Amino acid sequence: MIEMTLREIADVVGGELHDVPDPQARVTGSVEFDSRRIGSGDLFLALPGANSDGHDYAATAVEAGAVAVLAARPVGVPAIVVAPDAGTVPATSVALSHDGDGSGAAVLAALAELARVSTERLAERTGLTVVGVTGSSGKTSTKDLLAAVLAPLGPVVAPPGSFNNELGHPWTALRADADTKFLALEMSARGVGHIAALARIAPPRIGVVLNVGTAHLGEFGSREAIAQAKGELVEALPADGLAVLNADDPNVAAMASRTRARVVMVGLSGDADIRATDVTTDDQARARFTLHAGGESVPVRLAVHGEHQVGNALSAAAVALECGADLDTVAKALAGATAASVRRMDVRTTPDGITVINDSYNANPDSVRAALKALVTLAKAGPEPRRSWAVLGEMGELGDTSVIEHDAIGRLAVRLDVDRLIVVGTGRPSRGMHQGAVMEGSWGEESILVPDISAAIALLDDEIAAGDVVLVKASKAVGLWAVAEHLTRAGEGSSEAAR
């Protein structure tokens, strides 16, 4: 964050100083909500959580080097105290799930205001460029690609993984300091108005909208409502900003009329300003294509897996070109960009020859379809086809369409000729996925329904063989990453035993 005194911070967030011997003491570091990560010059954020209350760790944080604590009540050490009625933010964060007295909301509201002021001051004084990314799927992959293509132009701050809610968003914004040139932020929503609120916290100059799918359909109610929410990003852009829109998604392309900013269309469409042609994939499902922009073209080879990454790469390229990069620099950066966030198209081959695609962080119908296509590409590439396995769990937050969407995924697995489908779970959606595969023509045990993760692991241990390719994917609440981690550990163990 931009350096501020404790008095300045208190004025910004509408708080009062308690037990502060020197109001002019400066916060020179960042803001942390984990006392174990506090460094000298930081500000500690005291949040109530499901299992503990950050206020109880205030003294520990100050001993570790925190200048003060941003809290909802006095804590016996230097603190900026905000009242429970100081403000509110959209209450979708896990941090607020046990916030009975409103103290968590007050602290988060103060954090949001501090992030807004810090970001705006950095933009005015140092030229910080804020880039916001939203979409039903692909946000994290695109954010990682953005960080890679912007890095040659200057220091970049981006969130770890998908830390994109009303805690992670301001926390990430406050990582930016006077040396930061680019701040790349994911913007997630569970309802209309959420992205608008996040955009107020760290006002973007560049906005990227990837797609409008069915993720969170149960909460939004319709695809139209999802499009309305995602479009809040381009509505928040200034007149001298840039909106990067997916020309291949009609719901996204239509957002051009909702922004004051200049619009750049990206995609495979011939009408796109920045487009890809000659798209192919190699034996690891890594895409190759020709990137066209501004009357010039350059070949691109991606290091990340899945043909769906082409659209993400085009969006990242559009941002980098806007910020001053040339096509050759963009192509080189994209070629060197690997999966930076855990459990997202993480492809590893174990020493005993089993390829594991760990895409288990989260799942929605669009991302599962993309992952299944990548699985089949990997399995069928090379001199001899390999056996493909899809270990899939339930996709959450689909509302009344849940069973239908799961049925469609089961049918798609059969149409793509996935050799073995393991559906994990006993609920109606999981049964719907298995039944969809059966009704589409799954024969014998091509599709099998197992009750839990342990049963899936036991089945794989019995039947998987060297050369097989395994995709693991489900909504994060399922915890299906345990399957992927078991397979990679087991492969390493087999290799060690063989020695």
Is 136 assigned a ligand-binding role in the annotation?
yes
Model confidence at 213: pLDDT above 90: no
Q: What's the pTM?
A: 0.84
Better-scored residue on pLDDT, 412 or 499:
412
Predicted confidence band at 179 (pLDDT cuts at 50, 70, 90)? Answer: very high
List of residues 6+ apart from 51 with CB closer than 8 A: none
* Pairwise pLDDT comparison (476 vs 176), residue with the higher score: 176
Is 138 annotated as belonging to a binding site?
A: yes
139 is in an annotated binding site: yes
In this model, does residue 86 exceed pLDDT 60?
Answer: no
Does the annotation list 191 as a binding residue? Answer: no
Whether 213 has a binding-site annotation, put simply, is no
140 is in an annotated binding site: yes
More confident residue, 120 or 497: 120
- Inform me whether the pLDDT recorded for 298 exceeds 90: yes
pLDDT of residue 136: 87
pLDDT at 101: 65
Residue 384 confidence (pLDDT): 85
Q: Give the pLDDT confidence of 41-80 residue by residue, as tens digits.
A: 999 999 987 778 999 999 999 999 999 999 999 999 999 9
